[in-house]
Structures are given as structure tokens and as C-alpha cells.
């Protein structure tokens, strides 16, 4: 099991939700942590709370992760502040619910930039150093929507499927390059009861089979205990999400739409309210 004490971590979207919950767990493990977020007020509160734990150093910077220049500037700042970066948590995310043609293409380009393209920047900034040391771990937040298609979330699903593939490809590159000390994990949470996906849910049958996630810390625990410490490549929450992969492998493709309809996926975003100002925050 990997020990996290004295590791140095960067968490995007680190002021709220999964990002903040993960940062708290990392600080308690003895990691120095740099959080990036767009919400300056939330970030100031988060920094204060993290510093109150009193175990490790905490740094916080305003960052729009779609701004390539800013990402690379702050990557250098993180290396200056902490000496190096051992852990990267790509958590910043954005969701817009609605039919694909109900919004202009520019709206979907923004969602793609936050959820996917930004990871190109952060990974490109930190991966070379990890390769040089043959040591590091990159955790990318995907989603249950990175396993199945969900109505009203076409672009969100597209980005989260892509995050899943990106993570797997980078892992295989590291193995091929004999950089096995560099690890990669993708995290796939179902709807959380609070935060970005508040109000999103399956029907009664679906919720029995795949219940919503109670708290952001449930996912933070998975990130720290399963991905970082145990090097789990793919972490799904709840575990019944494995059924999505099993069904896709074993059942005819024509069987999946009626099965998902039976679980209420077709109307799962009808009650969605989300979190006001949730851009660049975690689920």
C-alpha cells in the first residue's frame, strides 16, 4: 500500500465538493496540497479549513483550467511552492443539462474545454516530472456517465467517456515506456445527492439497484484509499455500476436501451437543479 505522507498534490476544483473533500483527506494524510478553483470566496474558506487541520502546507490559486497559459504558470508555481508534484487530481468539472440541439455549439465547446481539454494542459504540465522520477499518480474524475449514455447529458457523457479512455491510454503508455512508478486512475461516481448533480436521480427501481452517492467524502475516500493507496485503475461508486460494463459485454446492444429505460435513465435529469455557480467545481 502506498504511503501518502509528505507527498505533494495539486487538486483542480479543490474548493468545493469532491475536490475539497479529497483535499481534506490528503492533508490529513500529511500531503502538502495546492488547490485551484474559480470561486475565490470558496477557495479562501477552503484554504482556511485545510490549514486548520495543521498537518501540512496548503496553497490556493484562482485558476480557470481552460486557460492554457494560466495552467502552465500555476504548474510552475506549484513546483516552486512544494518542490515537486507527486499527485494530480483532475477534478474540475462543469455540467449543462438539456437536449443536444437546445444549446448553441459554443455552450458544448465550453463544457468540453472544462471537462476534457483542461486535462491535456494539467497532465502535460506535470507528467514529464513524474516520468523523470518514475514516480507519481494522476487521478482523473470521470463519471457513471462515462459508462453509459444519458439523455440530456450528451456532451457530459462524451467528455467523461473520453476521460476514461485518456486515463487508460496514458496508463498503457507508462507501462510501454517502463515508467511503472507512474500510476493512473479514473473515478466513476454515480449521481451525488448534493452538489453539481443535485436533483438528478433514477426511478425507484433504478435507485434501489444503483443508489445515489450520499456525500462527497464517499468519493474522496475512494480516491485516497482505493486509487492512491491501493492503485486501483478504475474505481466505480457504487459498486453496482460494474453491471453497466457486464451488461454491455454480455447482452445484445438492442437490449440496453429498454434496460436503461426501465431504470429511469431517460428521465434522470428532469428534476436536476445542480449547484448555482457550480462551474469548475466537483460533483
Instruction: Single out the catalytic residue among 59, 121, 156, 164.
Output: 156
Cβ(182)–Cβ(127) below 8 Å: yes
| Count of CB atoms situated within 10 Å of the CB of 153 | 26
DSSP assignment of 35-50, as one string?
EEES-HHHHHHHHHHH
Residue appearing with cell numbers 492554457: 68
Alpha helices in 16-153 (DSSP H): 17-28, 40-53, 68-82, 105-112, 118-133
Asked if 94 is an active-site residue, the reply is: no
CA pair distance 99, 82, nearest whole angstrom: 44
Instruction: Give the span between the Cα atoms of 144 and 228, in whole angstroms.
Output: 20
C-alpha cell at 74: 500555476
Task: Give the residue among 155, 39, 139 at the shortest CA–CA distance from 89.
Answer: 139
Q: What's the Cα-to-Cα distance from 272 to each of 188, 191, 281, rounded to whole Å? A: 19, 10, 16
Query: Which residues, including other chains, have CB under 8 Å from residue 11's CB and lie 6 or more apart?
Result: 19, 22, 23, 26, 33, 34, 35, 36, 89, 91
With cell 467528455, the residue in question is 159
At residue 181, the 3 state secondary structure works out as coil
Phi/psi at 243 (nearest 5 deg)?
A: -60, -30
Task: Specify the length of the chain in residues.
Answer: 283
Which residues are known catalytic residues? 156
Amino acid at each position: 500500500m502506498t504511503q501518502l505522507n509528505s507527498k505533494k498534490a495539486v487538486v483542480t476544483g479543490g474548493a468545493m465538493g469532491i475536490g475539497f473533500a479529497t483535499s481534506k483527506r490528503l492533508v490529513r494524510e500529511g500531503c502538502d496540497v495546492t488547490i485551484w478553483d474559480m470561486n475565490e470566496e470558496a477557495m479562501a474558506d477552503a484554504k482556511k479549513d485545510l490549514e486548520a487541520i495543521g498537518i501540512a502546507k496548503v496553497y490556493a490559486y484562482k485558476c480557470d483550467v481552460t486557460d492554457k497559459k494560466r495552467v502552465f504558470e500555476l504548474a510552475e508555481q506549484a513546483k516552486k511552492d512544494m518542490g515537486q508534484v507527486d499527485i494530480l487530481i483532475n477534478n474540475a468539472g462543469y455540467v449543462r443539462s438539456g437536449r443536444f440541439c437546445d444549446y448553441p455549439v459554443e455552450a458544448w465547446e465550453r463544457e468540453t474545454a472544462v471537462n476534457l481539454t483542461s486535462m491535456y494542459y494539467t497532465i502535460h504540465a506535470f507528467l514529464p516530472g513524474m516520468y523523470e522520477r518514475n514516480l507519481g499518480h494522476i487521478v482523473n474524475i470521470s463519471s457513471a456517465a462515462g459508462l453509459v449514455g444519458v439523455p440530456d447529458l450528451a456532451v457530459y457523457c462524451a467528455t467523461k467517456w473520453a476521460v476514461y479512455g485518456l486515463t487508460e491510454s496514458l496508463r498503457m503508455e507508462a507501462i510501454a515506456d517502463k515508467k511503472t512508478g507512474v500510476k493512473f486512475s479514473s473515478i466513476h461516481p454515480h449521481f451525488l445527492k448534493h452538489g453539481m448533480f443535485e436533483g438528478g436521480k433514477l426511478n425507484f427501481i433504478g435507485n434501489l439497484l444503483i443508489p445515489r452517492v450520499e456525500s462527497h467524502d464517499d468519493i474522496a475516500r475512494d480516491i485516497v484509499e482505493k486509487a492512491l493507496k491501493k492503485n486501483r485503475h478504475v474505481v466505480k461508486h457504487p459498486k453496482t455500476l460494474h453491471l453497466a460494463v457486464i451488461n454491455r459485454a454480455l447482452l445484445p446492444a438492442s437490449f440496453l436501451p429498454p434496460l436503461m429505460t426501465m431504470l429511469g435513465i431517460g428521465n434522470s435529469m428532469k428534476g436536476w437543479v445542480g449547484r448555482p455557480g457550480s462551474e469548475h467545481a466537483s460533483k
